[in-house]
Amino acid sequence: MLVLVAPGQGAQTPGFLTPWLDLPGVEDQLRDWSAAIDLDLVHYGTKATEEEIRDTAVAQPLLVASALISARQLFPTAGDLAAKVGAAAGHSVGELAAAALTGTLSEGEAMALVRRRGLAMAEAAAITETGMAALLGGSEDVVLPHLEKLGLTPANVNGAGQIVAAGTAEQIAALVEDKPEGTRRVVPLKVAGAFHTHHMAPAVSALEAAVAELSPADPHPRYVSNKDGRVVTSGQEVVQRLVGQVANPVRWDLCMETFKELGVTALIEAAPGGTLTGLAKRALPGVRTLALKTPADLDAARELIATTANAAAASAE
């Protein structure tokens, strides 16, 4: 079974969209979305600096656009994706890409919503100087009490020995100086706020208003939620979870547990891929993984899709 995943904030790097613009129709699609959401995705994805694309209001639409563009190179139609993918999920803002790829939202709706999300979360982040840092290694039994002692929130429980802490700049600095026992490294992330914590509560109201007029469809294929790793079958519930998730921890560890329970054998991460495949390699041994970083990865991805489909057909005989 193939799982398709979309990365979250921090995966972006300067110029990462540049090679994708060489593919037919990609630049036109990006310019259409740019006009619709009043944000120049082509400029920010090709020429902007690292600091410019660190801006939450810029990074989030860029990441969703990239995931959609790259995934559609592999699955040109919704029916094609539903036939070949067993489940889809996204990490944090990647959930909006997953909602579009599973047909819960249209691509236009997802881009409009991620624009509102990015702006609302940027406004919330501006209230207090906050940030996030990844802790590599260490057991949850040791890490979580240590974070609580410092007043930090475990905003992302990613599995594979990785927890992301979020809080004020002072709290993050204290964590860097005083890391939990057994933790190899504390790595500050390229994000501009303490996402998935109470610091983002003001953004929830803005998103509630933004989704009020949407009529989401039920997802196909299965949609796996960051809230608790559960498969969500109602489009309306997917959208409700998207709203609340901005102020609640991401449980990517539980998403990967669900992938395992569903029988995952292969996982493809949409562009700019790498982070989630890295976690899967450690947490899902034996699962074939592939990260879409540039269009040069598309042929290998197509081969993996075909191999997985053939194996599924053989096992069904």
pLDDT in tens, 38-84: 999 999 999 999 999 999 999 999 999 999 999 999 999 999 999 99
What pLDDT, on the 0 to 100 scale, is given for residue 110?
98
pLDDT in tens, 263-280: 999 999 999 999 999 999
Residues 132, 133, 137, 142, CA torsion sign: negative
Within 10 Å of residue 10's Cβ, how many Cβ atoms?
Answer: 23
Active-site residue 92, yes or no?
A: yes
Between helix 107-127 and helix 201-210 the angle, nearest 10°, is 150
Indicate whether 315 pLDDT > 80.
no
CB-side exposure of 18: number of CA atoms within 13 Å? 7
Active-site residue, from 34, 66, 70, 196: 196
Q: What is the mean pLDDT of residues 145-160?
A: 95
Instruction: Give the Cα separation of 108 and 37 in Å (integer).
Output: 9
Active-site residue, from 34, 66, 70, 92: 92
Instruction: Give me the sheet containing 162-168, strands edge to edge.
Output: 153-159, 162-168, 130-136, 185-188
Cα-based angle 156, 221, 116 (whole degrees, multiple of 5)? 50
Instruction: Give the Cα separation of 177 and 11 in Å (integer).
Output: 25
Collapsing DSSP states into helix, strand and coil, what is residue 269?
A: strand
What pLDDT, on the 0 to 100 scale, is given for residue 270?
98
Indicate whether 317 pLDDT > 80.
no
Taking every pair of C-alpha atoms in the chain, what is the biggest distance, in angstroms? 59
Question: Are the C-beta atoms of 222 and 259 separated by less than 8 Å?
Answer: no
Collapsing DSSP states into helix, strand and coil, what is residue 166?
A: strand
